[in-house]
Chain A
């Protein structure tokens, strides 16, 4: 397996792991909420997750990010995890998946 396939595999594993992290206030997982902008992996840098929150100062923000670290360390042990929070672009409901929209009552 080459380095590219390795990266793809880890990114997919990370994606699957993050699907188990629930926003406790909304009871919807963070992937379906569209909070994750990008997941990338390299041998030297480890897993890098670029994410946002539904609002600045979101009371659940720290809990969500801690839970993300926990599940990533558990599912992909020995790999460095770096979570980067961004407000650009700002989160909108356009980022919510069809499943998430259903759970939020949007459709």
Chain B
């Protein structure tokens, strides 16, 4: 029985376009943030801010998660991906509909192209969820990571359905509650149900593997799984039927317990690691997990509502979303890019040559100085940008987002260097 995932992995041409699209999206995202910095000082229901949020959540984060999951599902679920063709169709449909969706949102053009793009996005997400579900049904793996991935995919589907309903509601109002009520539901199922759940699931498997650690308590992860799903289900049904956020703090605290248990698992993994010298990918991953403390703190302030009714409450809300998407998740993805992408490309280009001739190592496929540089610039740019939101300082927002463009540019250089790394055939007669 083959207990390894490599031979079950899909071809590189299924996975790599996701990384390329996501890297470009990250660059475009940072440019748009720079150009629309002033939007970060107003209400979050702003076309520019909503476009930026969707480009971050879908074009950058979800796109790379899709690609990475197609590669990692065989490793985590120990089963072959259900359909490579469906994965290819999903990519094209998701990419095309996202561009149309982003264009409509940016210009606040809410006609039929907007509804069409939202429908196509939902369809592509449905294809992705179907692919994950049938892959999972082939697997006998009962690990908690598999549960996180399957549940996360369901929450993504719920998020997309809500998104489509809201896009229709903007031009043909039919929903019973205020639009912002659904927006909050949409945001929480997207961030907590999809992004956070996938990070917790995949992280619980990959981080111990990369650190050569026996990991933390699996029991903690299982409790974390039930807490986060319980919190989301409670919040979702409560708000949907009562249209009230009065009990929001209860669900937030339950979700917070889930995050704390995940962080406990990571701390235990870190302490037990055999690999003392952490490479750059792991350093960025650990830094991202530390940065999770910021959205946790800001989110607590938002949910307690100490500044409710003041303009600072709006700043806090925007900072909360920014600290999740641009801070914690983006750095996590950048770090994990350096752990997964070189491996995928190396496997594709050099895997068959291993043992036959000297090959570069996965870490040789990118420029480490560039990677180090954008990590340091990120650690400078992000606090400046977040301070700009909290202090309502446009200059700080401009400096922070300008530096983020540099981060994205350097990241793109390395991503495309890895993807296009040449295979130089050795001449055995030399």
Which residues does A use to contact B, with CB under 8 Å?
20-22, 24-27, 53-71, 74, 85, 87, 92-93, 96, 104-106
Contacts and interface: CB of A to CB of B under 8 A. Distances in A.
The winner among A63, A68, A92 for most chain B CB atoms within 10 A is A63
B275 interface: yes
A24 B354 contact: yes
A106 B4 contact: no
A27 B361 CA distance: 7
B185 interface: no
Contacts of B205: 57
Nearest to B1: A85
Contacts, number: 89
Interface of B: 2-7, 75-76, 78, 205, 208-210, 212, 214, 274-277, 343, 346-347, 351-352, 354-356, 359, 361-363
**Which 3 A-B pairs have CB atoms at the shortest separation, nearest pair first?**
A67-B355, A61-B4, A70-B355
A69 B354 CA distance: 10
A67 B275 contact: no
Contact of B209 (A58, A65, A104): A58
Contact of A57 (B78, B276, B361): B78
Contacts of A106: 274, 276
B275 to A, nearest CB: 6
A61 B208 CA distance: 16
Majority-rule SS of A interface residues:
loop
A64 B5 CA distance: 12
Contacts of B274: 93, 96, 104, 106
A54 B212 contact: yes
A70 B356 contact: yes
A53 B379 CA distance: 35
Nearest to B71: A59
A55 B208 contact: yes
Given A54-B212, A105-B275, A21 B4 contact: no
Nearest to A17: B355
The winner among A60, A70, A92 for most chain B CB atoms within 10 A is A60
Contact of B362 (A25, A57, A93): A25
A105 B277 contact: yes
A61 B363 contact: no
Contacts of B351: 63, 66
